[in-house]
Amino acid sequence: MDLNVFKDITYGMYIVSTIKDQEKVGCIINTLTQITSKDPIVTISLNKDNYTNKILKETKKCAIAILSKETPRDVITKFGFFSSKDEDKFKDSIYQEDSGLPVATDKICSYLIGGVLDIIDCNSHDIFMIKVIKTVKKEDLVPMTYKYYQEELKGKAPFKAPTYIEESKANTSSSCKYKCTVCGYIYDDAKEKVKFVDLPDDWKCPRCGVGKDKFVRL
């Protein structure tokens, strides 16, 4: 099966967040769909291993920020490639509180507040059906699409995203390759001007920003 075909499906980029006992959690998602317009309901999907999934099952309420093309790259890296289990992603982030929930608001278009109506088990992921109870327009910016993230920002899906494609399946050349253990980015000597071993010590993963020490040779 050609998994690249799935890249033709369009998505937006969002941050879903919630809070439990003062612990703010949140992560990037691209799988949000509006299901109904009257008494609006949306669905999102979250990996079962995702910490935000675990907490959202308990709190049953969340905020969903709709990212724009101007949402800073480091916001996407922080919320997309690290776990709320390990760090407070809202610390040092621009956010506000609404309805008792933390909302990531750095250059976003708008946000939704909602409650979980139902959860559908879907193999590696859960689908959360969410009744929207409030919508807030923030800035008149252009929403970020997943394609823009992939093609303009050269961003990729982290391991746990439903749209993740193993790079080994996306390209077939074989040579010296190094993989980022944080985000899965592959540095392929055959495609780069500089060999991985010759990169400067302060070189950073172009996808998630960690150093060379987080890479392993494949």
The least distance separating Fe ion from the CB of residue 216, rounded to whole angstroms, comes to 11
- Site residues (CB under 5 A) for Fe ion? 180, 182-183, 185, 205, 207-208
Residue 25 or residue 183: which is nearer to Fe ion going by CB? 183
Residue 62 or residue 208: which is nearer to Fe ion going by CB? 208
30's CB contacts (< 8 A; 6+ apart) are 11, 12, 13, 14, 146, 149, 157, 161, 162, 163
Residue 111 or residue 187: which is nearer to Fe ion going by CB? 187
CA 70/CA 15 separation, integer angstroms = 14
Residue whose entry in the numeric block shows the structure tokens 């933390």:
102
The least distance separating Fe ion from the CB of residue 205, rounded to whole angstroms, comes to 3
Distances (CA, A) of 205 to 44, 70, 149, 154, 212: 28, 21, 16, 12, 7
Dihedrals phi, psi of 53, to nearest 5 degrees: -60, -50
The least distance separating Fe ion from the CB of residue 185, rounded to whole angstroms, comes to 4
Residue whose entry in the numeric block shows the structure tokens 């890296």:
77
175's CB contacts (< 8 A; 6+ apart) are 188, 189, 190
Residue 128 or residue 187: which is nearer to Fe ion going by CB? 187
Residue 149 or residue 185: which is nearer to Fe ion going by CB? 185
* Type of residue at 64: I
The least distance separating Fe ion from the CB of residue 200, rounded to whole angstroms, comes to 16
The least distance separating Fe ion from the CB of residue 183, rounded to whole angstroms, comes to 3
The least distance separating Fe ion from the CB of residue 218, rounded to whole angstroms, comes to 14
Residue 113 or residue 161: which is nearer to Fe ion going by CB? 161
CA 15/CA 102 separation, integer angstroms = 11
